[in-house]
Amino acid sequence: MINKKQQTHTTAIGATDNKAHAVAIQSDGKIVLAGYSYNGTDNNFAVARYNTDGSLDNTFDADGMVTTSFELNSNGRAFAVTVQADGKIVVAGYYTNVDTDRDFALVRYNTNGSLDNTFGSGGIITTVIDDGVDEAQSVVIRNDGKIVVVGYSFDFTTRVFTAERYNIDGSLDNAFDSDGIVTTSINNNDDAAYSAALQPDGKIVISGYTSGETYDFAIIRYNIDGSLDNSFDRDGIVTTDFDASSEISYAIAIQTDGKILAAGDFDNGIVYDFILVRYKTNGTLDNTFGIDGYVNTEMGASSAEDVATCIALQSDGKILVAGNTNDGSDMDFAIARYNSEITSGIHSTANNYTTFNILPNPFSTKTVLQWNYSAQSATLSIYNYFGQSVKEINNISGETISLSRDNLSSGFYFIQLMEGNKIIFIDKIIITD
């Protein structure tokens, strides 16, 4: 029997409230946790480091814990942490000394927990993007040591995606959009980034949401110089509406084959479910994953609200997604593991266009599909009863296509026509002998 008390650890940093938001693993297996601690007056950045057995690492600031205050009567909250190749720890979040004004904040610690005086001003950097609310939500380190921080900026009118790149010494990297800072508005309304990942080629992929009539997934890819990558859905920006009330991405990861995974919550108008989405390298939905590119998962009871906030990839390619589930009485940890190739069934997505015909259906040799939409470069996918892809026809144009049976056996099949991220229709066909 496992003694749960031997498998869990709690740490009080000071005498009042503490909250962890991010975790990173050092190359030696030690665990770094970052968040913030309330001292009775202000919130301060808080970092704790644990040995592999879960005990606090006393080589880190003598007791395994460190808090950092930016100045008297200020507040700082950390939401992201990463470890450099040299073992130094980088923590990102926000700093404020005025309730309505927040700035990006970045702190770098030496391996012993002391502030790194070679970084910014005494190990601390704050960056004003505009006179409003600027919050860093994610931090990643490039192979050359440069630091990429992403989040959002809000001038009390419009919220936008924000990315910054810093040199090793903490100065803004002017090779990144000329001043080290990039902001991108998608709908000129309410857009926010929560997670970032680096591709092997150095391009930056960011996920979050954009708000129009509802909240939709938003993914942006930038080139190394900070410009939008036009090879990614033609303008560097992908927004995806999954026919739910709203969807927000809180986490992103990149597979070894370059495909992009994004996770978050899926609001069907009643409760929230986990949602995991996979995009191809060009930004289109990967319809080999979950049939139409996504999987939504009910984690707890049918009335529970489930929100996915992080992704991890195993060495065998399996995908771990974690977050929380709330059944109305309390909130619990929730985690799901997915195979890399998921073809478990067709999602119940209504046809976007009312006029659609299959003539004849059932058929034995050939049928004709017709729809009232002028396709430019659509893809028709055919799936068997088990959700496995059995045939795909690309680069379809116009409003009709002749579909031959070829070597398909008799039986029941699903068909889906998709152009870009837009599902034109999903329906079923029957092939007879």
Integer-rounded Cα Rg, in Å, for the chain is 24
pLDDT score for 99 = 61
Whether residue 349 is predicted with pLDDT greater than 70 in this model: the reply is no
Can you give the pLDDT at residue 14?
59
pLDDT, tens digit, 9 for 90 and up, residues 81-99 = 999 999 999 999 998 876 6
In this structure, what is the dihedral angle of CA atoms 89, 95, 97, 101, given to the nearest 10 degrees?
170
Residue 356 has pLDDT above 70, yes or no: yes
Residue 181 pLDDT > 90? yes
Q: Could you give the domains of the chain?
A: 4-338 (2.120.10.30), 356-431 (2.60.40.3080)
The model's confidence at residue 298, banded by pLDDT at 50, 70 and 90, is: confident
Q: Is 168 left (phi over 0), alpha (psi -120 to 50) or beta?
A: alpha
192 vs 150: CA distance, rounded Å: 10
- Identify the residue whose tokens are 């031959």: 404
> Count of H helices and E strands in the chain?
0, 28
pLDDT at 351: 45
Please tell me the pTM assigned to this model: 0.75
Predicted confidence (pLDDT) per residue in 222-242, tens digit: 999 999 999 999 999 999 988
- Average pLDDT, rounded, for the chain: 85
Name the percent of the chain lying above pLDDT 70: 88
280 pairs with which residues across the strands?
none
Residue 177 has pLDDT above 60, yes or no: yes
